[in-house]
Structure 1
Amino acid sequence: MKLDLRSAYKFIGIKEGDEWKTAFSTSTGHYDYLVQPYGLAMALSIFQAYINEVLREFLGRSVVAYIDDIWIYSPSRNQHVRDVWAMLQTLLENHLYCKAEKCEFHHKEVDFLGYAIQQGSVSMQPGKVEAVKMWPRPLTRKALQHFLSFANFYRRFITDQLRGPVQRFKWTQEVNKALEELKNAFATTPILQQPDPERPFVMEVDASDMGVGAVLWQHPGERGGLRPIAYFSRKLSSAERNYGVGDRELLAMKLAFEE
């Protein structure tokens, strides 16, 4: 289930005496905000701290909250009804209200923060995959950076990385091939399984002259072989490239655990 709060920021008041800091003028007069408006530098972090406090007893147990988006998950339908009721009651007690038209109740699959989440697995939203497939060839450095920033958000789904950095923006056949390989990797990305803390994990690492990578696997039990939980890769610095193969693989393990 997914909830979307209505006008959430307006529940955070401006500290008395600081209203003048939000002042603005229009043709009808001069105004100060009494509640937190959108656009303030600290608005996101302040509201996140507030919603974390309101939902403290649910976080990590049945709720994930990011700003004004709330995802409620449960192991069974009956438990889900109880979790949803308790959540809505808590929101009501704190005068927080939802946008009914944006809420999704009793769904087995929801789109949340750019991911398609199903029972036991997570994947890229189909719309995001299609956007990558149709992405035009970047004609400027900024356009390329925009694509790579988008791709970086979903890097946990990709098993491989580009062969090396582009020091100068010069489009070549090799660069074009690398871009197409990356786009194809997104189009064929596997579905990642949700981790089960009761089952053992398997970490597989590898290292090359240019970078390191790792895959976190888990056995689903009687349903088959190892399933991917997450992928990780990173380019090596000039100093790290001097490491021996064993040290580079140890570095891959260290970085993967930190990730």
Structure 2
Amino acid sequence: RWKHVLAYIDDIIIYSKNFYEHIQHIEEVCSLLQEANFKLNVNKCEIARSEILFLGHLITEGTIKPDPNNIRGLVETKEPTTAEEAFRFVKAAEYYRKFIPKFSIIAAPLHKYSPSTVNQQKINKSKFILSDDARTAFHELKKILTTDLILGLPDDTLQFKIQ
């Protein structure tokens, strides 16, 4: 029933194969929203867009990419000088893990700076030194984030393999 709608909290995306279908889908969704006494903020509505930013992703016909502004922020991150900074970076990069093959393997050295691990190992916060493998992971993730990260949407009329 909901093959043309994505919703997250109070954001809704209606997607369609062509303009005619799009108008039908909009009418259907608006009718259901009205029945449920939901109100739309007209100032937030964008209709018949060929690309849209949604939850940190740039969605176009057939592709999904990370929001370039979010990627820029990650790429411009300076090398961590605290365990908290190292962990904050890896958690932010993790949001885009689906674009990075073998993310968990690459990022593993940075995960050892999680608050629970730091507390368990009683790492001295005043004498923080980023390990060589964590430094390599940090720079490798930044390098990968500068590449053209794209997910293609599958053609559900054909067979495809999920990796």
Q: TM-score, normalised by structure 1?
A: 0.52
Cα drift, residue 163 of structure 1: 7.0
Please, which of 140, 147, 150 is the counterpart of residue 191 of structure 1? 150
Matched, 1:180 2:139: yes
Equivalences for 1:93-242 in 2 at 5 Å? 93-161=35-103, 162=106, 164-165=108-109, 167=112, 170-202=129-161, 216=163
**Contact 2:75-2:142 at 8 Å conserved across structures:** yes
Cα drift, residue 174 of structure 1: 4.3
CA distance in 2, matches of 1:91, 1:175: 49
CA distance in 2, matches of 1:163, 1:143: 14
Supply the RMSD in Å over aligned alpha carbons: 2.0
Aligned length: 146
Give the AA of the match of 1:159.
P
Q: Tell me, which stretches of 5 or more residues in structure 2 are unaligned?
A: 113-122
CA distance in 2, matches of 1:79, 1:70: 17
CA distance in 2, matches of 1:178, 1:94: 49
Instruction: Point out which structure has higher relative CO (alpha carbons under 8 A, 6+ apart).
Output: 2
Q: Tell me, which stretches of 5 or more residues in structure 1 are unaligned?
A: 1-56, 204-215, 217-259
Between structure 1 and structure 2, the one with the greater Rg is 1
**Contact 1:111-1:117 at 8 Å conserved across structures:** yes
CA distance in 2, matches of 1:84, 1:151: 34
CA distance in 2, matches of 1:90, 1:137: 49
Give the AA of the match of 2:24.
R
Please, which of 29, 48, 55 is the counterpart of residue 87 of structure 1? 29
Q: Which is richer in strand?
A: 1
Identity %: 29
CA distance in 2, matches of 1:92, 1:164: 48
1:69 corresponds in structure 2 to 11
